[in-house]
Amino acid sequence: MNYTFESAMNRLDEISALLSENNITLDESLKLYEEGVRLLAFCNSKLQQAQIKINDINGNKLETE
């Protein structure tokens, strides 16, 4: 599934809620945890990309001033 940053964060919230309910099996918990780890890596990557872009924009702005 293709996620945006926002949809991935929403899914992480859902996963967190499901895991805290304690009414799912161990196998289901492991699957959700694995999905959560992948989504967290995706979100971290998006944040790093955004930071690089912001730094680039700010660097270009400073060079033209």
pLDDT above 60: residue 61: yes
pLDDT tens digit sequence for 32-52? 999 999 999 999 999 999 999
Residue type, 9: M
Q: What is the pTM of this model?
A: 0.82
pLDDT at 59 (0 to 100): 84
In whole angstroms, how far apart are CA 5 and each of 23, 33, 34, 54, 60? Answer: 28, 18, 18, 16, 25
